[in-house]
Amino acid sequence: MVREASETSIGSILTVPKCRACHIEPSERAAFKEACAKATMQNLDDALRPFFATWTTSLLGSDLEKLKSVSTEPRIRNLIETLIIQDECNVLDPFAVPELPSPESTYRIWPRDNAGVVISSEIGVAELSRILREKLLRPSTIIIRDYRIEPINMLLCEEFARFRPLIRKISQATAEPVPLAALVRDVVMGASLDVRSLVFQCADSGYGEHSVLSSADFRQRFPNGISVGSPVIREAVIELDKTYKGRETRFSRLRSAYLQLGQEAQSYWLQQIFYKASELKTLKLSITNSQDQQLQAGMVVPKLTEFSLSGSRISAGDLLAMIGSSRESLAHITLQQVVLNLGSTWREVLTFIAREYCALVSFTIAIIRETNGGGPAVDFREVRDEDIPEQCRAGLRLTPKGPDGNKRVTRLAYSGPDAGKVLEVIAVTGYVPESYESGRGQGGKSA
């Protein structure tokens, strides 16, 4: 009886045309049928899970229709753990795929504006937000991936001619994290999500020995070699708490975040993080072309234990406001390739952190500057062992660089007791030389 019930249920999935079209890719249909044939009602979910645990959609055309359909099928939608949102630029890139695109095929490519930002209103972002808001899908992880083909790759052969208008040139703004941050903002704003972790990161290009560029046909076409470019691939990984049954929290329960931001959507993300993420403990930020946020220290809510700022230009006021509520909790701080603007000095900033942040146990400093241009980094070559408390010396690592007789130290790290005292010594000792050739007594100014 159990076996008959199983076959009836499984058979309905296989035979109903709508379900077949919406839920089963042709390449997986044979394996799906085989798995279902061996399943019972007791282990049916286990049999179906490999086919539905990860669901990928472009939010365009038939992809969007599939997503809407699967969201109405309770048995199937409950199996979806990871939702991946990306267009099909990856299957058009000869840098990453094993064969040339079919001239007869159509590909789902996101529309973009002149800055490379995806036009959310022209893809199914609103529909996705509705589905998530109504909890028709409750994935544990959402991955939003922005894949940008290097246009030169589309000029290799005529097979790509009809697809070239779909691929916009990668501008400097597009190479930065601008488009991804804007798209993630549009998705999150419309959905009721309980976000626990949010990471913006660069993804691997996937190039390997099976790329079409490694084929014998391409080697024969281009015996002298070819010039190609690797793609720009950025992705946002959003970890959600499926078990939370309360009202919409969005970022109030966020515990960790790593954000790479450009000007587009910068203000939105910083407002969400610093004014709403009251449970945030780990924050890693990279802000290109930073605007002056004028954050109000009294309104900043996270009590961070770890803070990292890299690849950024920022005012001292904004930097200290970001960690303003963390004086008794901040244990680890990293400042890497950060330009301090608006006339402030690193001596002032580092000294303040050293004296006010009592929980500090480690810090990393690498290539920090005080100018808006590409001037010399703050140099810590004058740090001497006798300046550091004896019990702390083993925890300090200096990285000298440059020719003998004029080595500079722009990278250092410390982990151990009395981190505040060590940082205060570092702050007083560091200085900004007029050039890398000048020494402490040759016109260098105090940082």
What is the tens place of the pLDDT at every residue in 126-140? 999 999 989 899 999
Question: Are residue 42 and residue 176 in the same domain, yes or no?
Answer: no
Question: Are residue 25 and residue 167 in the same domain, yes or no?
Answer: no
Does 1 or 263 have the greater pLDDT score?
Answer: 263
Output the six-digit token pair for 300. 């900043």
* 357 lies in some domain: no
Question: Are residue 125 and residue 203 in the same domain, yes or no?
Answer: yes
Question: Are residue 123 and residue 144 in the same domain, yes or no?
Answer: yes
* 130 lies in some domain: yes
Inter-CA distances, 12 with 17, 31, 36, Å: 9, 17, 11
Inter-CA distances, 221 with 162, 216, 217, 218, Å: 20, 9, 6, 5
| pLDDT average, residue stretch 241-267 | 77
Question: Are residue 32 and residue 70 in the same domain, yes or no?
Answer: no
Question: Are residue 145 and residue 5 in the same domain, yes or no?
Answer: no
Residue 22 has pLDDT above 70, yes or no: no
Predicted pLDDT of residue 56: 94
Would the pTM of this model clear 0.85, i.e. be above it? no
Does 26 or 201 have the greater pLDDT score?
Answer: 201
Residue 113 has pLDDT above 90, yes or no: no
| pLDDT average, residue stretch 94-99 | 79
> Which of 23-27, 61-65, 218-222 has maximum average pLDDT?
61-65
CA-nearest of 259, 265, 268 to 201 is: 259
Residue 188 has pLDDT above 80, yes or no: yes
Predicted pLDDT of residue 392: 94
Question: Are residue 39 and residue 131 in the same domain, yes or no?
Answer: no
| pLDDT average, residue stretch 413-431 | 93
Question: Are residue 140 and residue 196 in the same domain, yes or no?
Answer: yes
Query: For tokens 């048995």, what's the residue?
Result: 75
Predicted pLDDT of residue 83: 96
In terms of residue numbers, what domain contains 239?
53-249
Q: Which domain-ending residue is among 209, 230, 249?
A: 249
Whole-number percent of the chain with pLDDT over 90: 36
Residue 322 has pLDDT above 70, yes or no: yes
* 198 lies in some domain: yes
Residue 206 has pLDDT above 80, yes or no: no
Question: Are residue 96 and residue 234 in the same domain, yes or no?
Answer: yes
Predicted pLDDT of residue 173: 42
How confident is residue 189, by pLDDT bands cut at 50, 70 and 90? Answer: confident
Predicted pLDDT of residue 104: 75
Output the six-digit token pair for 87. 């267009």
How many domains is the chain built from?
2
Q: What angle do CA 261, 283, 126 make, to 5 degrees?
A: 50
Which range among 14-23, 252-261, 364-373, 387-396 shows the weakest confidence by mean pLDDT? 14-23
Question: Are residue 19 and residue 104 in the same domain, yes or no?
Answer: no
Predicted pLDDT of residue 355: 96
Burial class (CB in 10 A: 0-12, 13-18, 19+), 274: buried
Contact 325, 356 (CB under 8 A): no
- Which is it for strands 82-85 and 54-57: parallel, antiparallel or unpaired? parallel
* 341 lies in some domain: no
Predicted pLDDT of residue 426: 94
Residue 4 has pLDDT above 60, yes or no: no
Average pLDDT score, the chain: 81
Predicted pLDDT of residue 216: 76
* 410 lies in some domain: no
Residue 7 has pLDDT above 60, yes or no: no
> Which of 148-157, 182-191, 274-283 has maximum average pLDDT?
274-283
Q: Which domain-ending residue is among 249, 283, 308?
A: 249
Question: Are residue 27 and residue 120 in the same domain, yes or no?
Answer: no
Does 95 or 78 have the greater pLDDT score?
Answer: 78
* 196 lies in some domain: yes
> Which of 187-196, 203-212, 324-333 has maximum average pLDDT?
324-333
Predicted pLDDT of residue 55: 94
> Which of 81-85, 114-118, 146-150, 171-175 has maximum average pLDDT?
81-85
Question: Are residue 73 and residue 212 in the same domain, yes or no?
Answer: yes
* 134 lies in some domain: yes
Does 340 or 397 have the greater pLDDT score?
Answer: 397
* 374 lies in some domain: no
Q: Which domain-ending residue is among 249, 272, 306?
A: 249
Residue 6 has pLDDT above 50, yes or no: no
| pLDDT average, residue stretch 91-109 | 80
Does 208 or 183 have the greater pLDDT score?
Answer: 183
Predicted pLDDT of residue 251: 86
